Amino acid sequence: MPPKAANAAVNHLRNKSRASISTACVVSTSSSTVESGLRIVGAHTDSPGFRIRPNGATVSDGLARLGVEIYGGPILATFTDRDLSLAGRISFLDDGKHLTHQLVRFNQPLLRLPNLAIHMNRGVNEDGLKLHKQNELPLLFAQLTAGQLPKPYFLELLAQASGIDATRILSWDLAVYDTQKGALWGANQEFYADSQIDNLASCHAALQALLNDAVLNSAESTLVCAFFDHEEIGSESHIGAGGSFLADVLQRINAAASTEREDSARALAHSFLISADMAHAYQPNFPAAYDADHRVFVNQGPVIKSNANRRYSSESVSIAHFIRWCEEAGVPHQRYTHRSDLPCGSTIGPIASAKLGIRSVDVGCPMWAMHSIRESAGVQDHDYMIRVLERFFSD
Ligand SMILES: [Zn+2]
């Protein structure tokens, strides 16, 4: 049987809104913040994919399509032949002419990007599936009759899904999501698969750790889970890790504990940030993609990520702290560096750490197929991550 926490994670991923347009802080405050500082776990809520263009609905030969922009760096080919739909946020005028915002989700499959048959693309298995980003990504969504116009037709669909009169809708942010539910897989159900594992799995692990009663009762520090939007596009927005959101929240927490400016600086000096984001697990079909000495494996524990050019925030002191928390929690750990001849990704870690002046380490559970619409990871790792974050929060 998989650990209970992993089941909870799968259920969480099944039930998530999929809209991925949120930034949030969850905080448990302590009266001794000045002396013991803040224990922060940072992660991101957004995932690469497609966003609907404002005037995206078009029709040709009776087939209505929605134009999309690419958000972040998805593996485009994985979006073909999936049961896609839409989720996001609508802004509208309510009855009293007040500006109002509401989340919306189409629950049924609404969209599809059908592949070209192999008979018309004979080289696909040799050359890979290459999709033209402007011309070949619009998503099919309806078959219209001669008198139907695509834009009002789509607006009416939006009105039906949201319950908001079409004439009141002013604007929207809509993301494409895969309606397929998460699943455990493997001979012993030791793996799980879903969309958006990067990085909702880390968000879930952090929240599970913070909401543990034993952690809340024993913690001497103020505990913070900080979840950011826009990591996949560089974090530079008012709600991204490059914005002032987290610094503002921490400043308010510190101000509530003490009005002395010096006390706030002392609290930050005693603080620590764990940047939790997924890592690249070894896939034995592609051995050349990895540094041979830094391969990390699913179900063998959290990965500590290092990069000499600080694409990750880890350094020897913060790494040593994390190893100690792993050992105290009875959790194994692994070490990862990226190949030198491949560009390394990054996380919110270096950005948030630099803005706050707080020591940080970049860690994450190993996973396969990062940025595919169907990612997968190890069940045991999720439990490991929760346990080491619980230890961190209790330190
Ligand atoms: Zn990520």
Whole-number pLDDT of residue 28 = 82
Whether the Cβ atoms of residue 376 and residue 280 lie closer than 8 Å to each other? no
4-47+195-394 has which fold? Answer: Aminopeptidase (3.40.630)
Q: How far is the CA of 390 from the centre of ligand 1 (A)?
A: 21
Whole-number pLDDT of residue 265 = 87
Whole-number pLDDT of residue 15 = 46
Q: In what order do the strands lie in the sheet with 279-280?
A: 183-185, 191-194, 375-378, 366-368, 279-280
Whole-number pLDDT of residue 7 = 46
Q: How far is the CA of 264 from the centre of ligand 1 (A)?
A: 30
Whole-number pLDDT of residue 36 = 83
Q: How far is the CA of 232 from the centre of ligand 1 (A)?
A: 7
Q: How far is the CA of 290 from the centre of ligand 1 (A)?
A: 18
Q: How far is the CA of 269 from the centre of ligand 1 (A)?
A: 27
Domain with CATH 2.30.250.10 in the chain: 49-178
CA separation, residue 172 to residues 158, 175, 297, 353, 383 (Å): 10, 10, 40, 32, 37
Q: How far is the CA of 199 from the centre of ligand 1 (A)?
A: 5
Q: How far is the CA of 305 from the centre of ligand 1 (A)?
A: 12
Tell me which residue of 12, 18, 22, 381 sits closest to 226, measured CA to CA.
Answer: 22
Check residue 243 and report its DSSP letter: S
Q: How far is the CA of 347 from the centre of ligand 1 (A)?
A: 6
Q: How far is the CA of 279 from the centre of ligand 1 (A)?
A: 8
Check residue 358 and report its DSSP letter: -
Phi, psi of 131 (to 5 degrees): -115, 130
Domain with CATH 3.40.630.10 in the chain: 4-47+195-394
Q: How far is the CA of 346 from the centre of ligand 1 (A)?
A: 8
Per-residue pLDDT of the chain (395 residues; tens, 9 = 90+): 334 444 444 444 444 444 444 788 888 877 777 888 899 999 999 999 999 999 999 999 999 999 999 999 999 999 999 999 999 999 999 988 899 999 999 999 999 999 999 999 999 999 999 999 999 999 999 999 999 999 999 999 999 999 999 999 999 999 999 999 999 999 999 999 999 999 999 999 999 999 999 999 888 889 999 999 999 999 989 889 999 999 999 888 888 887 788 888 888 899 999 999 999 999 999 999 999 999 999 999 999 999 999 899 999 999 999 999 999 999 999 999 999 999 888 899 999 999 999 999 999 999 999 999 999 999 999 999 999 999 999 98
The CATH code for residues 49-178 is 2.30.250.10
> Could you tell me which residues come within 8 angstroms of residue 292 by beta carbon, excluding any fewer than 6 positions away?
none
Q: How far is the CA of 368 from the centre of ligand 1 (A)?
A: 12
Q: How far is the CA of 85 from the centre of ligand 1 (A)?
A: 22
